[in-house]
Amino acid sequence: MEEFQPQTPPEPEKYEHVDAMRRAIADLFIIFDTTLDYPDKGYVRFRGRFLQDPADCYDELRRRFEQYGYTPTVNKERDMISLIALPVVFDHPKSRWSINLILFIATILSTLFVGASYAAETTEQLWQIWRGWPFATSILLILGAHELGHYFAARHHNVPVTLPYFIPMPLSLFGTLGAFIRLQGPVSTRRALFDVGAAGPLAGLFFALPILFFGLATSDVGPVMPGGIYEGNSILYALAKLAVFGRLLPGNGLDVHLNQVAWAGWVGLFVTGLNLIPVGQLDGGHVAYSLLGERAKGLFWPSIVGLALIVVYSYLQGAFTGTWLLWIFLLLSFGRVHARPLEDISELDPRRRVLAVITLALFLLTFVPFPLSGIAG
């Protein structure tokens, strides 16, 4: 039984708003009781049950609440539904695209430089950055598709969102640290959370796969060179090489020598695998929460233990790089909190449930346990 908390009589204007909200949602939600200033001052809790599928009617419910300056959240509370009105409306901020444009241009230059250095045979060619256009075009197409997938899915579900921010990194093997968008308001339902989370990796993979296959088909197979750095296999990448070359590589002292396009395709698969780790605020975390709800938190420690085992194995094999140790630290610091939707009681519809399982399976297919390794001379 809840402990009775005496309440200060509400201001008449606030009381009128509450009564107006009760009338506004009468055809969507039957109200059994109302509590003012719960769970905090200015909040209003309505308890009852929905007359329609919550996921189907939530957007309309939200629109009606926003007329009075509130945003509704929906959760289960014992044997009733708790509908809490937050005294805030999440508006779409004005777009400030100048920083996005500057970062995008810088990332074009940094990926051109890395592509040129990847193919350079002389010092002069190293600074002829236009020679890096195959890599730059390919990797920016993959990353751009990934982030725009998130962006358009968010806009479709009326979630305030920024344009993509690209991160240039010329002194690296990739030329970039990737890109990201910022959600500037909460996602409405689990269906919306799935759409926003899955749209990025699926859109990126849609471009990464043909780029990878074209790059492999135009690359050569040759001896593994001592002193070189070689990319690791994911299941999907190993199968792609098997499909193109008819053999598992590396093998018998041979491996594919990737050209710029193939390298961009491998990077695209690698980035997809990273984003689909099913924890926290990563794309895989969004998909896992939309499918499993609070049970998705149970994937956190198995993910950490799995990465730790990779670290230990790499160390024992003399191939320790610290990459996964850094990721373990980041996930322990920021990866425990999932993005909860405002309406958090409805499960995914059957079509999205199947797509969610497929998306999480793609994590297993694209994850690279040992991304880069050197061959001793």
Q: What whole-number distance in Å separates Cα of residue 287 and Cα of residue 302?
A: 17
**CB distance 276 to 367 below 8 Å:** yes
pLDDT values of the chain reduced to their tens digit, one per residue, 377 residues: 333 344 444 454 556 788 899 999 999 999 999 999 888 888 999 999 999 999 999 999 999 999 999 999 999 988 889 999 999 998 877 778 899 999 999 999 999 999 998 876 777 766 788 889 999 999 999 999 999 999 999 999 999 999 999 999 988 889 999 999 999 889 999 999 999 999 999 999 999 999 999 999 999 998 987 767 788 999 999 999 999 999 998 888 889 999 999 999 999 999 999 999 999 999 999 999 999 999 999 999 999 999 999 999 888 877 767 788 889 999 998 888 898 999 999 999 999 999 999 999 999 999 999 988 765 44
Q: Are residues 322 and 364 in the same domain?
A: yes
- Both tokens of residue 79? 């044997």
pTM over 0.75? The answer is yes
* pLDDT value at residue 268: 96
Of 40, 61, 86, which marks where a domain is finished? 86
Domain co-membership, 157 together with 48: no
Q: Which residues, 6 or more positions from 79, have their beta carbon under 8 angstroms from its beta carbon?
A: none
Residue 218 in any domain: the answer is yes
pLDDT, position 367: 96
113 and 75 in one domain?
Answer: no
Q: Would you say 253 and 228 are in contact if contact means Cβ atoms under 8 Å apart?
A: no
In sequence order, which residues have a C-beta less than 8 Å from that of residue 279 and are 6 or more positions away? 285, 288, 299, 300, 303, 331, 335, 336
153 and 229 housed in the same domain: yes
Please name the amino acid found at residue 316. Answer: L
Rounded Cα distance between 107 and 363, Å, is 26
Q: Do 208 and 352 belong together in one domain? A: yes
Is 303 in contact with 332 (CB distance < 8 Å)? Answer: no
Site of tokens 């690791």: 232
Segments forming the whole domain that contains residue 50: 12-86
φ, ψ at 189 (rounded to 5°): -130, 170
206-245 burial, b if ≥16 CB within 10 A, otherwise e? ebbbebbbbbbeebeeeeeeeeeebbbbbebbeebbeebb
Structure tokens at 357: 């399982």
State how beta strands 80-86 and 71-77 pair: antiparallel
**Residue 144 included in any domain:** yes
Question: Number of structural domains, the chain?
Answer: 2
- Among 61, 86, 111, identify where a domain stops: 86
| Alpha helix segments (H runs only) across the chain | 12-24, 54-66, 98-119, 123-126, 133-156, 190-217, 235-245, 260-275, 283-292, 300-316, 323-334, 350-366
- Conformational region of residue 314, where left means phi above 0, alpha means psi within -120 to 50, and beta covers everything else: alpha
Contact predicate 169/110, CB 8 Å: yes
Q: Are 233 and 251 in contact (CB under 8 A)?
A: no
Whether residue 4 lies inside any domain: the answer is no
Q: Are residues 135 and 48 in the same domain?
A: no
Task: Report if residue 345 sits inside a domain.
Answer: yes
Q: What is the pLDDT of residue 376?
A: 43
What is the pLDDT, as a whole number, of residue 129?
A: 82
Query: Do 81 and 102 reside in the same domain of the chain?
Result: no
pLDDT of residue 252: 87
Are 204 and 293 within one domain?
A: yes
Token pair of 185 as six digits: 């308001």
Sign of CA dihedral 244, 245, 248, 250: negative
- The number of beta carbons lying within 10 Å of the beta carbon of residue 78 is 7
Question: Do residues 57 and 174 share a domain?
Answer: no
- List the Cα angle 358/359/362 in 5-degree steps: 90
Residue 189, CB half-sphere, CA atoms under 13 Å: how many?
Answer: 21
Q: Check if the beta carbon of residue 196 is closer than 8 Å to that of residue 157.
A: yes
> In the prediction, which pLDDT does 7 show?
43
26 shares its domain with 81: yes
Residues 72 and 109 in one domain: no
Q: What secondary structure does DSSP assign to 297-311, as a single string? A: GGGHHHHHHHHHHHH
